Structure 1
Protein backbone atom coordinates (compact mmCIF):
# COMPACT_ATOMS: atom_id res chain seq x y z
CA UNK A 1 0.00 0.00 0.00
CA UNK A 2 1.33 3.42 -0.97
CA UNK A 3 1.82 5.92 1.84
CA UNK A 4 1.02 9.49 0.88
CA UNK A 5 2.57 12.53 2.52
CA UNK A 6 0.10 14.96 0.96
CA UNK A 7 -3.41 14.80 -0.43
CA UNK A 8 -5.45 17.07 -2.69
CA UNK A 9 -8.98 17.27 -4.07
CA UNK A 10 -9.22 17.34 -7.83
CA UNK A 11 -11.57 17.04 -10.71
CA UNK A 12 -10.42 14.14 -12.89
CA UNK A 13 -12.43 12.67 -15.76
CA UNK A 14 -14.03 9.28 -15.43
CA UNK A 15 -12.64 6.39 -17.47
CA UNK A 16 -13.12 6.88 -21.21
CA UNK A 17 -11.62 8.40 -24.33
CA UNK A 18 -11.11 11.87 -22.82
CA UNK A 19 -9.29 10.52 -19.76
CA UNK A 20 -7.16 8.23 -21.94
CA UNK A 21 -6.19 10.99 -24.39
CA UNK A 22 -5.13 13.38 -21.63
CA UNK A 23 -3.24 10.70 -19.70
CA UNK A 24 -1.34 9.77 -22.88
CA UNK A 25 -0.56 13.42 -23.61
CA UNK A 26 0.96 13.90 -20.13
CA UNK A 27 2.49 10.41 -19.83
CA UNK A 28 0.93 9.60 -16.44
CA UNK A 29 -2.36 7.85 -15.68
CA UNK A 30 -3.37 9.06 -12.23
CA UNK A 31 -6.28 6.64 -11.99
CA UNK A 32 -4.17 3.57 -12.81
CA UNK A 33 -1.14 4.94 -10.98
CA UNK A 34 1.29 4.22 -13.81
CA UNK A 35 3.25 5.85 -16.60
CA UNK A 36 1.82 5.56 -20.10
CA UNK A 37 3.46 5.97 -23.50
CA UNK A 38 3.20 9.46 -24.97
CA UNK A 39 2.30 9.83 -28.65
CA UNK A 40 4.91 10.80 -31.24
CA UNK A 41 3.18 13.81 -32.79
CA UNK A 42 4.43 15.78 -35.80
CA UNK A 43 5.11 19.49 -35.62
CA UNK A 44 6.13 19.77 -31.96
CA UNK A 45 9.11 22.06 -31.25
CA UNK A 46 10.48 19.65 -28.62
CA UNK A 47 9.67 16.15 -27.42
CA UNK A 48 6.30 15.81 -25.74
CA UNK A 49 8.06 14.44 -22.65
CA UNK A 50 10.06 17.66 -22.40
CA UNK A 51 6.96 19.84 -22.90
CA UNK A 52 5.01 18.17 -20.09
CA UNK A 53 7.52 17.57 -17.28
CA UNK A 54 5.81 19.65 -14.57
CA UNK A 55 2.15 18.63 -15.08
CA UNK A 56 3.04 14.94 -15.61
CA UNK A 57 3.51 14.18 -11.92
CA UNK A 58 0.08 15.56 -11.04
CA UNK A 59 -1.81 13.75 -13.79
CA UNK A 60 -4.59 15.33 -15.79
CA UNK A 61 -6.77 17.24 -13.35
CA UNK A 62 -8.37 20.46 -12.24
CA UNK A 63 -7.39 21.52 -8.73
CA UNK A 64 -10.23 22.21 -6.29
CA UNK A 65 -8.20 21.98 -3.07
CA UNK A 66 -4.45 22.19 -3.54
CA UNK A 67 -2.11 19.60 -1.95
CA UNK A 68 -2.05 19.62 1.84
CA UNK A 69 -0.60 17.60 4.70
CA UNK A 70 -3.46 15.69 6.34
CA UNK A 71 -4.63 16.24 9.90
CA UNK A 72 -6.30 12.82 10.06
CA UNK A 73 -6.09 9.28 8.70
CA UNK A 74 -6.97 8.50 5.10
CA UNK A 75 -10.27 6.85 6.00
CA UNK A 76 -11.44 10.11 7.58
CA UNK A 77 -10.37 12.03 4.48
CA UNK A 78 -12.44 9.71 2.31
CA UNK A 79 -15.44 10.04 4.61
CA UNK A 80 -15.22 13.83 4.57
CA UNK A 81 -14.92 14.00 0.78
CA UNK A 82 -17.93 11.68 0.45
CA UNK A 83 -19.94 13.89 2.81
CA UNK A 84 -18.98 17.01 0.87
CA UNK A 85 -19.81 15.42 -2.50
CA UNK A 86 -23.20 14.28 -1.23
CA UNK A 87 -24.13 17.92 -0.54
CA UNK A 88 -23.20 19.23 -4.00
CA UNK A 89 -24.86 18.81 -7.39
CA UNK A 90 -22.95 18.03 -10.59
CA UNK A 91 -21.79 21.12 -12.48
CA UNK A 92 -22.58 21.31 -16.18
CA UNK A 93 -20.51 23.58 -18.46
CA UNK A 94 -20.89 24.21 -22.18
CA UNK A 95 -17.52 22.71 -23.01
CA UNK A 96 -13.77 23.18 -22.73
CA UNK A 97 -11.60 25.68 -24.59
CA UNK A 98 -7.85 25.39 -25.09
CA UNK A 99 -6.10 28.55 -23.91
CA UNK A 100 -2.67 30.05 -23.28
CA UNK A 101 -2.47 30.93 -19.58
CA UNK A 102 0.53 33.19 -19.14
CA UNK A 103 2.79 30.85 -21.11
CA UNK A 104 1.39 27.37 -20.49
CA UNK A 105 -1.52 25.66 -22.22
CA UNK A 106 -4.64 24.53 -20.38
CA UNK A 107 -8.28 23.69 -20.93
CA UNK A 108 -10.80 26.16 -19.47
CA UNK A 109 -14.50 25.40 -18.86
CA UNK A 110 -16.97 27.56 -20.74
CA UNK A 111 -20.25 29.00 -19.47
CA UNK A 112 -20.10 28.03 -15.79
CA UNK A 113 -17.90 30.58 -13.99
CA UNK A 114 -20.35 31.26 -11.16
CA UNK A 115 -20.95 27.56 -10.61
CA UNK A 116 -17.23 26.83 -10.51
CA UNK A 117 -16.61 29.52 -7.89
CA UNK A 118 -19.48 28.22 -5.77
CA UNK A 119 -18.23 24.64 -6.04
CA UNK A 120 -14.69 25.67 -5.17
CA UNK A 121 -15.78 27.69 -2.13
CA UNK A 122 -18.00 24.89 -0.83
CA UNK A 123 -15.21 22.33 -1.07
CA UNK A 124 -12.63 24.62 0.54
CA UNK A 125 -14.89 25.37 3.50
CA UNK A 126 -15.99 21.76 4.00
CA UNK A 127 -12.50 20.26 3.85
CA UNK A 128 -10.46 22.87 5.71
CA UNK A 129 -10.46 20.89 8.99
CA UNK A 130 -8.70 18.02 7.18
CA UNK A 131 -5.39 19.85 6.69
CA UNK A 132 -2.52 20.66 8.99
CA UNK A 133 -1.46 24.32 9.23
CA UNK A 134 1.14 25.47 6.72
CA UNK A 135 4.75 25.38 7.82
CA UNK A 136 7.02 28.37 7.25
CA UNK A 137 8.66 26.47 4.39
CA UNK A 138 5.29 25.80 2.76
CA UNK A 139 4.36 29.48 3.04
CA UNK A 140 7.70 30.48 1.51
CA UNK A 141 7.13 28.18 -1.47
CA UNK A 142 4.02 30.20 -2.31
CA UNK A 143 6.20 33.32 -2.68
CA UNK A 144 4.05 35.50 -0.38
CA UNK A 145 6.02 38.60 -1.39
CA UNK A 146 4.56 38.28 -4.90
CA UNK A 147 0.95 37.87 -3.73
CA UNK A 148 -1.65 40.60 -3.41
CA UNK A 149 -2.76 41.48 0.13
CA UNK A 150 -6.00 39.56 -0.43
CA UNK A 151 -4.16 36.50 -1.74
CA UNK A 152 -1.87 36.56 1.28
CA UNK A 153 -4.92 36.67 3.56
CA UNK A 154 -6.39 33.67 1.71
CA UNK A 155 -3.11 31.78 2.05
CA UNK A 156 -3.07 32.40 5.80
CA UNK A 157 -6.74 31.48 6.29
CA UNK A 158 -7.28 28.61 3.84
CA UNK A 159 -3.79 27.32 3.07
CA UNK A 160 -3.74 28.46 -0.57
CA UNK A 161 -3.87 31.93 -2.17
CA UNK A 162 -6.05 31.10 -5.17
CA UNK A 163 -9.36 30.20 -3.56
CA UNK A 164 -12.74 31.91 -3.09
CA UNK A 165 -12.96 34.86 -5.52
CA UNK A 166 -9.34 34.19 -6.63
CA UNK A 167 -10.20 30.63 -7.76
CA UNK A 168 -9.46 29.97 -11.46
CA UNK A 169 -10.27 26.40 -12.41
CA UNK A 170 -8.10 25.06 -15.24
CA UNK A 171 -6.75 21.77 -16.58
CA UNK A 172 -3.01 22.12 -17.20
CA UNK A 173 -1.47 20.39 -20.23
CA UNK A 174 2.06 21.80 -20.63
CA UNK A 175 5.00 23.39 -18.88
CA UNK A 176 5.79 27.03 -19.42
CA UNK A 177 6.52 27.22 -23.14
CA UNK A 178 9.35 29.07 -24.81
CA UNK A 179 8.68 32.02 -27.14
CA UNK A 180 7.29 30.79 -30.44
CA UNK A 181 6.24 27.37 -29.13
CA UNK A 182 2.63 28.15 -28.28
CA UNK A 183 1.23 27.97 -31.82
CA UNK A 184 2.69 24.59 -32.88
CA UNK A 185 1.98 22.96 -29.51
CA UNK A 186 -1.58 24.28 -29.49
CA UNK A 187 -2.12 22.95 -33.04
CA UNK A 188 -0.85 19.48 -32.13
CA UNK A 189 -2.82 19.43 -28.89
CA UNK A 190 -6.03 20.56 -30.58
CA UNK A 191 -5.73 17.75 -33.14
CA UNK A 192 -4.96 15.18 -30.42
CA UNK A 193 -7.91 16.13 -28.21
CA UNK A 194 -10.51 16.90 -30.90
CA UNK A 195 -12.02 13.38 -31.09
CA UNK A 196 -12.53 13.10 -27.32
CA UNK A 197 -13.15 16.63 -26.04
CA UNK A 198 -16.43 16.55 -24.06
CA UNK A 199 -19.30 18.85 -24.88
CA UNK A 200 -20.93 19.52 -22.51
CA UNK A 201 -18.22 19.28 -19.89
CA UNK A 202 -19.62 18.00 -16.59
CA UNK A 203 -17.91 17.85 -13.19
CA UNK A 204 -19.51 14.78 -11.66
CA UNK A 205 -17.13 13.84 -8.85
CA UNK A 206 -14.66 15.00 -6.25
CA UNK A 207 -11.43 13.02 -6.46
CA UNK A 208 -9.23 12.55 -3.42
CA UNK A 209 -5.68 12.05 -4.64
CA UNK A 210 -2.42 11.32 -2.87
CA UNK A 211 1.21 12.20 -3.58
CA UNK A 212 3.73 9.35 -3.45
CA UNK A 213 7.37 9.66 -2.43
CA UNK A 214 8.40 10.35 -6.03
CA UNK A 215 5.98 13.29 -6.23
CA UNK A 216 3.48 11.48 -8.48
CA UNK A 217 -0.23 11.75 -7.72
CA UNK A 218 -2.58 8.76 -7.55
CA UNK A 219 -6.37 8.56 -7.39
CA UNK A 220 -7.35 7.41 -3.88
CA UNK A 221 -11.13 7.78 -3.98
CA UNK A 222 -13.79 9.14 -6.32
CA UNK A 223 -16.91 10.60 -4.66
CA UNK A 224 -19.97 11.27 -6.84
CA UNK A 225 -21.60 14.71 -6.61
CA UNK A 226 -25.15 13.76 -5.63
CA UNK A 227 -26.65 16.74 -3.82
Structure 2
Protein backbone atom coordinates (compact mmCIF):
# COMPACT_ATOMS: atom_id res chain seq x y z
CA UNK A 1 0.00 0.00 0.00
CA UNK A 2 1.39 3.38 -1.01
CA UNK A 3 1.79 5.86 1.82
CA UNK A 4 -0.43 8.92 1.77
CA UNK A 5 0.90 12.43 2.20
CA UNK A 6 -0.67 12.89 5.64
CA UNK A 7 -2.84 10.96 8.08
CA UNK A 8 -5.10 11.91 10.97
CA UNK A 9 -7.02 9.99 13.62
CA UNK A 10 -10.48 11.35 14.17
CA UNK A 11 -13.77 10.68 15.84
CA UNK A 12 -16.20 10.12 12.96
CA UNK A 13 -19.85 9.28 13.67
CA UNK A 14 -21.25 6.16 11.98
CA UNK A 15 -22.00 6.82 8.32
CA UNK A 16 -25.69 6.00 8.81
CA UNK A 17 -26.10 8.34 11.77
CA UNK A 18 -27.99 11.66 11.63
CA UNK A 19 -24.89 13.36 13.04
CA UNK A 20 -22.69 12.19 10.15
CA UNK A 21 -25.33 13.16 7.60
CA UNK A 22 -25.77 16.59 9.17
CA UNK A 23 -22.07 17.40 9.40
CA UNK A 24 -21.26 16.10 5.93
CA UNK A 25 -24.15 18.07 4.42
CA UNK A 26 -23.15 21.28 6.19
CA UNK A 27 -19.58 21.17 4.90
CA UNK A 28 -20.63 19.79 1.50
CA UNK A 29 -18.46 16.68 1.54
CA UNK A 30 -18.88 13.09 2.69
CA UNK A 31 -15.34 11.96 3.57
CA UNK A 32 -16.30 8.29 3.42
CA UNK A 33 -18.00 8.17 0.02
CA UNK A 34 -16.47 11.26 -1.58
CA UNK A 35 -19.96 12.53 -2.41
CA UNK A 36 -21.03 16.17 -2.19
CA UNK A 37 -24.39 16.16 -0.35
CA UNK A 38 -26.66 19.14 -0.70
CA UNK A 39 -26.26 21.70 2.06
CA UNK A 40 -29.21 22.32 4.39
CA UNK A 41 -31.40 25.30 3.57
CA UNK A 42 -29.82 28.09 5.59
CA UNK A 43 -31.64 31.43 5.41
CA UNK A 44 -29.44 34.22 4.11
CA UNK A 45 -26.84 31.96 2.48
CA UNK A 46 -26.95 30.94 -1.16
CA UNK A 47 -25.13 27.71 -2.18
CA UNK A 48 -22.10 29.54 -3.61
CA UNK A 49 -21.61 31.67 -0.52
CA UNK A 50 -22.04 28.69 1.80
CA UNK A 51 -19.49 26.72 -0.22
CA UNK A 52 -16.97 29.48 0.45
CA UNK A 53 -17.87 29.54 4.15
CA UNK A 54 -17.19 25.81 4.48
CA UNK A 55 -14.12 25.52 2.25
CA UNK A 56 -11.73 25.03 5.19
CA UNK A 57 -13.58 22.22 7.03
CA UNK A 58 -14.30 20.55 3.70
CA UNK A 59 -10.54 19.98 3.28
CA UNK A 60 -10.52 17.69 6.31
CA UNK A 61 -13.96 16.07 6.21
CA UNK A 62 -16.44 16.08 9.06
CA UNK A 63 -14.68 14.94 12.24
CA UNK A 64 -13.56 15.58 15.77
CA UNK A 65 -9.77 15.67 16.02
CA UNK A 66 -8.03 13.10 18.22
CA UNK A 67 -4.59 13.00 16.56
CA UNK A 68 -4.07 15.99 14.29
CA UNK A 69 -2.76 15.52 10.70
CA UNK A 70 0.78 14.19 10.52
CA UNK A 71 3.26 12.62 8.15
CA UNK A 72 4.58 9.10 8.78
CA UNK A 73 8.01 8.85 10.35
CA UNK A 74 10.78 7.36 8.24
CA UNK A 75 10.75 3.59 8.45
CA UNK A 76 7.07 3.41 9.42
CA UNK A 77 4.62 1.81 7.01
CA UNK A 78 0.90 2.24 6.51
CA UNK A 79 0.51 -1.25 7.94
CA UNK A 80 2.37 -0.16 11.08
CA UNK A 81 0.01 2.78 11.41
CA UNK A 82 -3.13 0.70 10.93
CA UNK A 83 -1.95 -1.81 13.53
CA UNK A 84 -1.23 0.99 16.02
CA UNK A 85 -4.62 2.64 15.46
CA UNK A 86 -6.35 -0.73 15.86
CA UNK A 87 -4.47 -1.31 19.12
CA UNK A 88 -5.45 2.15 20.35
CA UNK A 89 -9.10 1.52 19.53
CA UNK A 90 -8.90 -1.91 21.17
CA UNK A 91 -8.10 -0.31 24.50
CA UNK A 92 -11.45 1.48 24.69
CA UNK A 93 -15.11 0.55 24.80
CA UNK A 94 -18.19 2.17 23.30
CA UNK A 95 -19.55 5.12 25.24
CA UNK A 96 -22.28 7.71 24.94
CA UNK A 97 -21.07 11.04 23.67
CA UNK A 98 -22.23 14.10 25.59
CA UNK A 99 -24.96 16.19 23.94
CA UNK A 100 -23.48 18.45 21.28
CA UNK A 101 -24.28 22.11 20.76
CA UNK A 102 -23.63 24.48 17.86
CA UNK A 103 -21.39 27.25 19.18
CA UNK A 104 -19.02 29.92 17.96
CA UNK A 105 -15.40 29.12 18.78
CA UNK A 106 -13.56 32.32 18.08
CA UNK A 107 -14.18 33.17 14.43
CA UNK A 108 -15.59 29.81 13.36
CA UNK A 109 -18.60 27.66 14.27
CA UNK A 110 -18.45 24.10 15.54
CA UNK A 111 -20.30 21.38 17.36
CA UNK A 112 -18.97 21.12 20.92
CA UNK A 113 -19.94 19.00 23.94
CA UNK A 114 -22.46 20.62 26.25
CA UNK A 115 -20.76 18.98 29.25
CA UNK A 116 -17.29 17.51 29.83
CA UNK A 117 -16.68 13.91 28.75
CA UNK A 118 -13.83 12.17 30.60
CA UNK A 119 -14.07 9.14 28.30
CA UNK A 120 -13.68 11.34 25.22
CA UNK A 121 -10.74 13.13 26.80
CA UNK A 122 -9.10 9.79 27.72
CA UNK A 123 -9.55 8.63 24.12
CA UNK A 124 -7.82 11.75 22.82
CA UNK A 125 -4.90 11.26 25.23
CA UNK A 126 -4.51 7.67 24.03
CA UNK A 127 -4.52 8.67 20.37
CA UNK A 128 -2.00 11.46 20.91
CA UNK A 129 0.46 9.47 23.02
CA UNK A 130 0.16 5.93 21.68
CA UNK A 131 0.59 6.93 18.03
CA UNK A 132 3.34 9.46 18.61
CA UNK A 133 6.13 7.09 17.61
CA UNK A 134 4.79 6.93 14.05
CA UNK A 135 4.70 10.69 13.49
CA UNK A 136 7.42 12.46 11.52
CA UNK A 137 8.85 15.58 13.12
CA UNK A 138 7.34 18.84 11.93
CA UNK A 139 9.22 20.76 9.27
CA UNK A 140 10.08 24.42 9.98
CA UNK A 141 7.29 25.44 7.61
CA UNK A 142 4.78 23.27 9.47
CA UNK A 143 5.84 24.79 12.78
CA UNK A 144 5.50 28.30 11.33
CA UNK A 145 1.93 27.58 10.17
CA UNK A 146 0.96 27.06 13.82
CA UNK A 147 1.96 30.65 14.65
CA UNK A 148 4.20 29.63 17.57
CA UNK A 149 4.62 33.26 18.61
CA UNK A 150 0.94 33.28 19.59
CA UNK A 151 1.06 30.09 21.66
CA UNK A 152 1.42 29.82 25.40
CA UNK A 153 4.55 28.19 26.80
CA UNK A 154 2.64 24.96 27.43
CA UNK A 155 1.11 24.94 23.96
CA UNK A 156 4.53 25.51 22.44
CA UNK A 157 5.90 22.54 24.39
CA UNK A 158 3.05 20.38 23.12
CA UNK A 159 3.69 21.55 19.56
CA UNK A 160 7.33 20.54 19.88
CA UNK A 161 6.53 17.23 21.60
CA UNK A 162 3.38 16.07 19.83
CA UNK A 163 3.22 18.15 16.65
CA UNK A 164 0.05 19.94 17.77
CA UNK A 165 -0.46 22.55 20.49
CA UNK A 166 -3.98 21.64 21.60
CA UNK A 167 -3.51 18.24 23.24
CA UNK A 168 -3.77 16.75 26.74
CA UNK A 169 -5.01 19.48 29.12
CA UNK A 170 -5.25 21.92 26.17
CA UNK A 171 -7.58 19.57 24.27
CA UNK A 172 -11.05 20.89 23.51
CA UNK A 173 -13.15 18.51 21.45
CA UNK A 174 -15.03 20.14 18.58
CA UNK A 175 -16.41 19.25 15.15
CA UNK A 176 -15.84 22.19 12.83
CA UNK A 177 -18.71 23.36 10.63
CA UNK A 178 -17.38 26.59 9.07
CA UNK A 179 -14.22 28.48 8.35
CA UNK A 180 -13.50 31.83 10.01
CA UNK A 181 -16.27 34.39 9.61
CA UNK A 182 -16.55 38.12 10.36
CA UNK A 183 -18.75 38.83 13.37
CA UNK A 184 -22.06 39.84 11.72
CA UNK A 185 -21.95 36.92 9.30
CA UNK A 186 -20.83 34.55 12.06
CA UNK A 187 -23.77 35.50 14.26
CA UNK A 188 -26.20 34.91 11.40
CA UNK A 189 -24.61 31.57 10.50
CA UNK A 190 -24.70 30.49 14.14
CA UNK A 191 -28.44 31.04 14.42
CA UNK A 192 -29.08 29.30 11.09
CA UNK A 193 -26.94 26.28 12.00
CA UNK A 194 -28.49 25.96 15.45
CA UNK A 195 -31.93 25.77 13.85
CA UNK A 196 -30.75 23.29 11.20
CA UNK A 197 -29.11 21.10 13.83
CA UNK A 198 -32.26 21.01 15.93
CA UNK A 199 -34.33 20.07 12.87
CA UNK A 200 -31.90 17.39 11.66
CA UNK A 201 -32.48 14.80 14.36
CA UNK A 202 -28.74 14.86 15.05
CA UNK A 203 -29.10 16.77 18.32
CA UNK A 204 -29.35 13.60 20.41
CA UNK A 205 -26.37 12.01 22.20
CA UNK A 206 -24.41 9.84 19.77
CA UNK A 207 -22.64 6.63 20.74
CA UNK A 208 -18.92 6.51 20.07
CA UNK A 209 -18.16 3.02 18.77
CA UNK A 210 -14.68 3.50 17.35
CA UNK A 211 -12.17 5.81 15.76
CA UNK A 212 -11.32 6.53 12.14
CA UNK A 213 -8.11 6.89 10.17
CA UNK A 214 -8.26 9.63 7.55
CA UNK A 215 -5.68 10.08 4.79
CA UNK A 216 -4.73 12.79 2.34
CA UNK A 217 -3.28 11.24 -0.79
CA UNK A 218 -0.33 12.99 -2.46
CA UNK A 219 -1.64 15.99 -4.38
CA UNK A 220 -5.21 15.52 -3.14
CA UNK A 221 -6.98 18.63 -1.85
CA UNK A 222 -8.91 16.77 0.85
CA UNK A 223 -8.69 14.07 3.46
CA UNK A 224 -10.77 10.92 2.98
CA UNK A 225 -11.90 8.42 5.56
CA UNK A 226 -9.56 5.49 4.98
CA UNK A 227 -10.72 2.97 7.58
CA UNK A 228 -12.81 2.71 10.74
CA UNK A 229 -11.55 0.85 13.82
CA UNK A 230 -14.09 -0.45 16.32
CA UNK A 231 -13.50 -0.17 20.02
CA UNK A 232 -12.52 -3.40 21.67
CA UNK A 233 -11.14 -4.84 18.43
CA UNK A 234 -7.78 -6.58 18.39
CA UNK A 235 -4.80 -5.11 16.60
Q: How many angstroms does 1:110 deviate by?
A: 2.6
Instruction: Give 1:4's aligned residue.
Output: 4
TM-score, with structure 2 as normaliser: 0.89
**Where do 1:169-188 residues align within 5 Å?**
169-188=173-192
Q: Find the aligned partners of 1:138 and 1:47 in 2 and give their Cα distance.
A: 29
Contact 1:85 1:223 in 2 (8 A): yes
Instruction: Give 1:56's aligned residue.
Output: 58
User: After the TM superposition, which of the residue ranges 131-140 and 42-51 deviates more from structure 2?
Assistant: 42-51
Q: Find the aligned partners of 2:187 and 2:98 in 1 and give their Cα distance.
A: 24
Residue 223 in structure 1 maps to residue 225 in structure 2: no
Instruction: Give 1:111's aligned residue.
Output: 115
Deviations 1:109-150 (A, max 9, x none): 133333332221111111111111111121111111111111
Write 1 or 2 for the structure with the bigger share of strand.
1
Q: Find the aligned partners of 1:94 and 1:136 in 2 and give their Cα distance.
A: 37
Structure 1 counterpart SS, 2:183: coil
Q: Find the aligned partners of 1:24 and 1:118 in 2 and give their Cα distance.
A: 29
Structure 2 counterpart SS, 1:57: helix
Q: How many angstroms does 1:34 deviate by?
A: 3.4
* Structure 1: gaps (5+ residues): none
Q: Find the aligned partners of 2:86 and 2:104 in 1 and give their Cα distance.
A: 34
Contact 1:93 1:110 in 2 (8 A): no
- Cα–Cα, structure 1 residues 39 and 97, in superposed 2: closer, same or farther, change >3 Å? closer
Instruction: Give 2:23's aligned residue.
Output: 22
Aligned-pair Cα RMSD in Å:
2.0
Q: How many angstroms does 1:3 deviate by?
A: 5.5
TM-score, with structure 1 as normaliser: 0.92
* Structure 2: gaps (5+ residues): none
Structure 2 counterpart SS, 1:89: coil
Residue 201 in structure 1 maps to residue 206 in structure 2: yes
Please identify runs of 4+ aligned residues in structure 1 that moved more than 4 A: none
Contact 2:63 2:176 in 1 (8 A): yes
Q: Find the aligned partners of 1:33 and 1:2 in 2 and give their Cα distance.
A: 20
Instruction: Give 1:66's aligned residue.
Output: 68
User: After the TM superposition, which of the residue ranges 215-224 and 111-120 deviates more from structure 2?
Assistant: 111-120
Deviations 1:69-126 (A, max 9, x none): 0122212211111111001122323310111101211001133333332221111111
Aligned residue pairs, count: 227
- Cα–Cα, structure 1 residues 189 and 56, in superposed 2: closer, same or farther, change >3 Å? same
Instruction: Give 1:147's aligned residue.
Output: 151
Residue 102 in structure 1 maps to residue 103 in structure 2: no
Q: Find the aligned partners of 1:97 and 1:89 in 2 and give their Cα distance.
A: 24
Structure 1 counterpart SS, 2:229: strand
